[in-house]
């Protein structure tokens, strides 16, 4: 996808503690960047995580994450971590994510969540309020 395909992006600066001996971001930190962007996505959608979900009897649990590395970010780079909900099913949702530095596409990824009751941690349908918040932020309905 192109950077312009995302309606939401969170800008971050690479910190010294996130780079390895090679001077590039250690691979595991990209998942942390994804997590920060998804948290900010929910805030932008009006559903601050986790309290915005828990007060409605829901919570989201990661069941799958993938990262594809195209180029490396380096210390002090400003990066845009782009996030969008690509799909909402009955009880799960897929986030598509990309990291860009200026015009350079650095990383692509996907994080799949399952919605569940926070007490029993059993799968539950994605609530309507969450579907509506995503549709409003995305400007489209990603439900299947």
Q: Which of 30, 144, 46 is nearest to 79 (CA)?
A: 30
* Distance (Å) of CA 128 to CA 19, 56, 115, 116, 140: 40, 11, 12, 14, 14
- The pLDDT assigned to 66 comes to 99
Distance of alpha carbon 58 from alpha carbon 80, whole angstroms = 29
Q: Average pLDDT across each block of 10 residues of the chain; the chain has 144 residues. List them in order.
A: 90 98 97 98 95 92 98 98 98 98 97 96 96 96 86
Could you give all domains of the chain from N- to C-terminal order, each with its CATH number? 3-138 (3.10.129.10)
- The pLDDT assigned to 1 comes to 76
- The pLDDT assigned to 85 comes to 98
């Amino acid at each position: 996808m192109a950077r312009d395909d995302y309606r939401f992006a969170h800008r971050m600066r690479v910190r010294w503690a996130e780079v390895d001996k090679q001077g590039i971001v250690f691979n595991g930190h990209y998942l942390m960047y994804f997590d920060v962007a998804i948290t900010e996505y929910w805030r932008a959608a009006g559903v601050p995580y986790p309290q915005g979900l828990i007060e409605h009897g829901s919570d989201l649990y990661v069941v799958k994450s993938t990262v594809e590395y195209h180029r490396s970010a380096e210390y002090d780079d400003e990066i845009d971590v782009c996030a969008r909900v690509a799909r909402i099913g009955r009880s799960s949702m897929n986030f598509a994510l990309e990291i860009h530095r200026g015009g350079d596409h650095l990383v692509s990824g996907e994080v799949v969540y399952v919605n569940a009751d926070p007490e029993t941690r059993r799968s539950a349908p994605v609530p309507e309020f969450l579907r509506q918040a995503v549709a409003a932020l995305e400007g489209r309905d990603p439900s299947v």
